[in-house]
Amino acid sequence: MKRISEILFVLFVMQVCLSPAVAQNDPFAAGPPPKNAVKERPLLIKFYDITPLVTERQHYAFHDGTAALEYSRIGVNAGMPGGMGGGGGAMGGGGAGGGQGFFCVPSAPQFGGGGMGGMGGADVSGVGDSNSEPSLQEWLEMQGDSIEELIENSVDPDSWESMGGPGTIRDLGNTLMIRQTEEVHAEITTFLRELSIAVVGKGTYQLEAWWIPVVEETASGLQEILADQSDANVSCQKLTSLSQEWGGYHAMMLCREHVTTHAVSGSQVPIVVGSTPVVGTGNASDQPIVRTLLLGLLMEAKISSVPEYSTSSAEMEAGDQLNLSFRSMVSNSDANIQDFGAGGGKIDRYSLGKHVSEGTCTVRQDRLTRIASLSQLSTNQSGQPPEMQLIVRITLHGG
């Protein structure tokens, strides 16, 4: 009898343990959630503006508006390409340089022989960019891909319609219409934000530039300003005052990251660089070819942040690093332009003093940095040529 009671008790315990109520409270009894559990979550429709990712990036390099831009972007070339026999060598100066040049501006490359070209300058025609470059959407289409496929392959791939899930994505031009769960929408928002930063950039920067004539009276003051930058705004005010007092220049412009931007001040002077024979009924004449010279100040720049993976820990602690591609030109306003007859036509020759500097460098954000020392525009009263130094400061606009 006792044995039967024990057996009945064991059966009762087993029945209780295996009952549905206990199984529902046991986190291990239900097993893994079904693969289509996401289908049971509510689906929401949201719209995403992707205009920055589908729009061509425009660049704003300086052009002087003349017909033959390849020879007169700023009106002063580093020399025409060498002639056919000479192998295309350009004799004009490049990089940081300048000084007094006296040369003619031909309307076309000179053929036969070396083709000397100009003796003192550099062609400032844009920081290595055309007027625009393809958008991310265009780059993806070249590879047979799209932004929609990029999202589907990167954000919860199993949740999309193409993989048997409920999520859908539709292209509406500059906007994507996406039907997904709240959780997936949050991932999409983060993905598009990071993608936009990588492709378009973090934002807009303010670039300030000072061209300081360095003579005995300004050399020590400039060195003190660059050495003590505990208060950046005070240092900038001192630098501006120094520039104004000694006949320097000061420029400021806003630059969207990765976009070439320029600022220019001065005047454009038309010059005759050649002529084209024109034959009419019973007579012939020469039609002048006119180009323009910029006399004044030009600053052109493109700014981009330095990727974290290429920056050391010490550099990161010192401050945000920025890549700066720049071109600068300062020309005097009293260019000596002379007319010379040439077989019934006319060609202008001129003597032009100028500063030209160009290059790419890494600078610290919110820090005054000397990026170039330039040769003279003219000779001062003592006969010694003044040195001009280019100082820049880049800050995040609105930051």
Which of the two residues, 160 and 62, has the higher pLDDT score?
A: 160
Do 239 and 288 fall within a single domain? yes
Question: pTM for this one?
Answer: 0.65
Alpha-carbon separation of residue 380 from 247, 337, 384, 385 (angstroms):
12, 21, 6, 6
pLDDT tens per residue, range 85-96:
333 333 333 333
Q: Is the dihedral of CA 114, 116, 122, 124 positive or negative?
A: negative
Looking at residues 285-299, what average pLDDT do you find? 82
| pLDDT value of residue 22 | 43
Q: Is the pLDDT of residue 342 over 70?
A: no
Q: Percentage of residues in the chain with pLDDT exceeding 90?
A: 32
Looking at residues 265-287, what average pLDDT do you find? 79
Q: Which domain holds residue 53?
A: 37-57+133-199
pLDDT band at 339 (very low <50, low <70, confident <90, very high): low
Do 360 and 233 fall within a single domain? yes
Has residue 314 been placed in a domain? yes
Has residue 141 been placed in a domain? yes
Close Cβ partners of 82 (under 8 Å, ≥ 6 residues apart):
88, 89, 90, 91, 114, 115, 117
Has residue 164 been placed in a domain? yes
Return the number of other C-beta atoms located less than 10 Å from residue 112's C-beta: 9
Do 235 and 175 fall within a single domain? no
Domain boundary among 166, 181, 199: 199
Helices (H) and strands (E) in the chain, counts: 10, 15
Do 318 and 178 fall within a single domain? no
How far apart (Å, rounded) are the C-alpha atoms in residues 216 and 62?
34
How far apart (Å, rounded) are the C-alpha atoms in residues 263 and 61?
9
Q: Is the pLDDT of residue 242 over 50?
A: yes
Residue 164 has what DSSP assignment? T
Do 376 and 234 fall within a single domain? yes
Looking at residues 220-242, what average pLDDT do you find? 89
Looking at residues 341-361, what average pLDDT do you find? 70
Contact by Cβ (8 Å): 326, 267: no
Has residue 383 been placed in a domain? yes
Domain boundary among 184, 199, 214: 199
How far apart (Å, rounded) are the C-alpha atoms in residues 162 and 160?
5
Has residue 96 been placed in a domain? no
Has residue 68 been placed in a domain? no
How far apart (Å, rounded) are the C-alpha atoms in residues 200 and 74?
29
Do 340 and 257 fall within a single domain? yes
Return the number of other C-beta atoms located less than 10 Å from residue 273's C-beta: 22
Do 374 and 229 fall within a single domain? yes
Contact by Cβ (8 Å): 202, 244: no
Counted domains in the chain: 2
pLDDT band at 290 (very low <50, low <70, confident <90, very high): confident
Which of the two residues, 250 and 130, has the higher pLDDT score?
A: 250
| pLDDT value of residue 170 | 95
| pLDDT value of residue 123 | 36
Q: Which residue has the tokens 């999520």?
A: 167
Do 229 and 333 fall within a single domain? yes
Do 226 and 314 fall within a single domain? yes
What's the mean per-residue pLDDT of the chain? 73
Q: Any idea which of 216-230, 246-260, 345-359 has the lowest mean pLDDT?
A: 345-359
| pLDDT value of residue 87 | 34
pLDDT tens per residue, range 34-62:
555 545 789 999 999 999 999 998 898 88
Return the axis-axis angle of helices 232-245 and 216-227, rounded to nearest 10°. 170
Do 223 and 269 fall within a single domain? yes
Q: Any idea which of 3-17, 166-180, 289-303 has the lowest mean pLDDT?
A: 3-17
| pLDDT value of residue 265 | 86
Do 317 and 392 fall within a single domain? yes
Do 280 and 353 fall within a single domain? yes
Has residue 82 been placed in a domain? no
Looking at residues 225-239, what average pLDDT do you find? 90
Has residue 4 been placed in a domain? no
Domain boundary among 148, 178, 199: 199
Q: Is the pLDDT of residue 29 over 70?
A: no
Beta-ladder partners of 255: 205
Q: Which of 136, 50, 48, 121 is nearest to 80 (CA)?
A: 121
How far apart (Å, rounded) are the C-alpha atoms in residues 298 and 327?
8
Q: Percentage of residues in the chain with pLDDT exceeding 70?
A: 63
Q: Which of 362, 298, 363, 295 is nearest to 334 (CA)?
A: 295
